[in-house]
């Protein structure tokens, strides 16, 4: 490792930041590691927030009150003993607010309002993203991104309510499924013509429209939200086509804003969406400064030039890879993962390897959409770019190797034993 590396600061204490810290220690780094987290909690897992944390399955609170979710083992990414064993300078409730690469300092502000500089020799940026919030002051309109968000939604989640979910991405789709699991009346509103449109080609996404409808969800596609109506609390959601939907609770899944404003003027190059521009090693435009997780945009040789991923697995893998490259000197390794994402809806597992959209070729190589059990190949420009499975875990994962190297569409079909004409 570089002989000058003594102090590493990791800005962000989510999955990416924690895995970077663990990798530094695992690789023998003995210097100071400062882990800065904006939330007042130990690192936790986000996927259960739209599922178990809402339905309460296996997560009934022992006490209650604010913060009870943070103590549940199914959410904790690391237990207290293992966190202590990493010998970190862990600073929860502390937000990165500025970066001075010339002085090699990150400025942070704690929950007490004090602002202090943190000296670093190596920096890993993992401040992630926050949910886009609807423009309304009405109570009962929520987003779902953090533990505090999940507690706020859970407090209003009950079997007698009417919930409108705005946005049919993965978070919105999972919230809709969770609401149906506890008996709520659910309307799912999406401006695009199919759910999951950013992640999955519409020819496959249409299957999930029917999956929601089969489970009692009123799915409204191709129409946006014009506004929220009510007194002090939301009572209706007004759609762009003029119709109104009664609602006692609204959960909005409108995407994210990247937490990179604190990097403006620092010399770290940002793209128009706020993403951090990285090279193939996850290093930014400033030497010794790496970026990982939701906010990192880097070149990938097999998936359309440059990519940015908001996946749980990518946060884990990129945090580990960046820590290796920070320590490796001349032995750095390009970060070229096979993207992987999963979702659980209506007790059915959805898995996506690679990229599911955009695609100009789609083939259902095992099973069928009608049976709600299949493996679909997705391709672009004559190459395999994605594999999506519904209730087909072993078969889906067997095709990961096809995405680890360039594989033509015909080679992929041959591997699945499918005629190209199918």
Task: Decide: 39 and 13 in contact? Cβ < 8 Å.
Answer: yes
Cβ neighbors of 132 (< 8 A, separation 6 or more) are 143, 252, 254, 255, 256, 257
Neighbour count for residue 320 (Cβ, 10 Å): 20
What pLDDT was estimated at residue 398? 97
Separation between Cα atoms, residue 116 and residue 217, nearest integer Å = 50
The token pair at 208 is 């999930």
The token pair at 414 is 């041959």
Alpha helix stretches (DSSP H) within 12-62: 15-26, 52-55
What pLDDT was estimated at residue 72? 73
The number of residues in the chain equals 422
ω into 343 cis (within 30 of 0): no
Tens digit of each residue's pLDDT (9 = 90 or more) over 246-268: 999 999 999 999 999 999 999 99
Which positions of the chain have pLDDT values less than 70?
A: 1-3, 58-71, 159-160, 420-422
Residue 297 backbone class (left: φ over 0; alpha: ψ -120 to 50; beta: rest): beta
Neighbour count for residue 366 (Cβ, 10 Å): 17
Buried b (16+ CB within 10 A) or exposed e, 282-309: bbbbbebbbbbbbbbbbbbebbeeebbb
| In the block, residue with structure tokens 């429209």 | 209
* Short-list 285, 275, 290, CA closest to 324: 290
The DSSP symbol for 170 reads H
What pLDDT was estimated at residue 58? 67
pTM: 0.95
Task: Decide: 236 and 245 in contact? Cβ < 8 Å.
Answer: yes
What pLDDT was estimated at residue 161? 87
Task: Decide: 96 and 124 in contact? Cβ < 8 Å.
Answer: no
The DSSP string of 311-356 is -HHHHHHHHHHHHHHHHHGGG--------EEEEEETTEEEEEEE-B
Q: In order of start, what are the domains of the chain with their CATH numbers?
A: 7-43+78-130+257-331 (3.50.50.60), 133-254 (3.50.50.60), 347-416 (3.30.390.30)
ω into 349 cis (within 30 of 0): no
CA atoms within 13 A of residue 258's CA, in its CB half-sphere: 24
Tens digit of each residue's pLDDT (9 = 90 or more) over 56-114: 876 655 445 556 566 677 788 999 999 999 999 999 999 999 999 999 999 999 999 99
Residue 128 backbone class (left: φ over 0; alpha: ψ -120 to 50; beta: rest): left
* Short-list 376, 375, 377, 380, CA closest to 360: 380
The DSSP string of 284-302 is -SSTTEEE-GGGEEEEETT
Separation between Cα atoms, residue 165 and residue 175, nearest integer Å = 7
What pLDDT was estimated at residue 62? 45
What pLDDT was estimated at residue 45? 93
Residue 123 host element (H or E): strand 122-125
């Amino acid at each position: 490792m570089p002989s000058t590396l003594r102090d590493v600061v990791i800005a962000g204490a989510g999955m990416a930041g924690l895995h970077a810290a663990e990798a530094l220690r695992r690789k023998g780094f003995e210097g100071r590691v400062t882990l800065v987290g904006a939330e007042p909690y130990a690192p936790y897992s986000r996927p259960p927030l739209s599922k178990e944390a809402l339905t309460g399955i296996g997560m009934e609170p022992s006490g209650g009150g604010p913060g009870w979710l943070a103590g549940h083992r199914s959410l904790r990414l690391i237990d207290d003993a293992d966190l202590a064993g990493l010998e970190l300078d862990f600073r929860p409730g502390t937000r990165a607010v500025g970066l001075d690469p010339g002085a090699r300092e990150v400025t942070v502000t704690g929950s007490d309002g004090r602002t202090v500089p943190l000296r670093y020799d190596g920096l890993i940026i993992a401040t992630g993203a926050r949910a886009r919030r609807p423009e309304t002051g009405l109570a009962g309109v929520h987003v779902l991104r953090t533990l505090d968000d999940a507690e706020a939604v859970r407090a209003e989640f009950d079997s007698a309510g009417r919930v409108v979910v705005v946005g049919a991405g993965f978070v919105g789709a999972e919230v809709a499924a969770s609401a149906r699991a506890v008996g709520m009346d659910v309307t799912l509103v999406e401006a695009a013509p199919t759910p999951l449109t950013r992640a999955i080609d519409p020819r496959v996404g249409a299957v999930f429209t029917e999956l929601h409808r089969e489970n009692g969800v009123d799915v409204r596609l191709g129409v946006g939200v014009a506004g929220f109506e009510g007194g002090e609390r939301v009572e209706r959601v007004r759609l762009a086509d003029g119709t109104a939907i009664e609602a006692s609770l609204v959960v909005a899944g409108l995407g994210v804003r990247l937490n990179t404003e604190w990097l403006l003027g620092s010399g770290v190059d940002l793209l128009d969406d706020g993403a951090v521009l990285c090279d193939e090693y996850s290093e930014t435009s400033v030497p010794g400064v790496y970026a990982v997780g939701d906010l990192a945009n880097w070149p990938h040789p097999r998936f359309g030039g440059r990519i940015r991923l908001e996946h749980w697995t990518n946060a884990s893998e990129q945090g580990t890879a960046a820590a290796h490259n920070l320590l490796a000197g001349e032995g750095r390794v390009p970060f070229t993962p096979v993207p992987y994402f999963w979702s659980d809806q209506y007790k059915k597992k959805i898995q996506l390897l690679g990229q599911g959209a955009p695609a100009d070729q789609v083939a259902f190589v095992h099973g069928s959409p009608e049976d709600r059990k299949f493996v679909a190949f997705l391709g672009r420009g004559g190459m395999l770019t994605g594999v999506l499975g519904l209730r087909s875990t072993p078969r889906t994962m067997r095709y990961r190797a096809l995405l680890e190297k360039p594989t033509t569409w015909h080679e992929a079909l041959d591997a699945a034993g499918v005629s190209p004409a199918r």
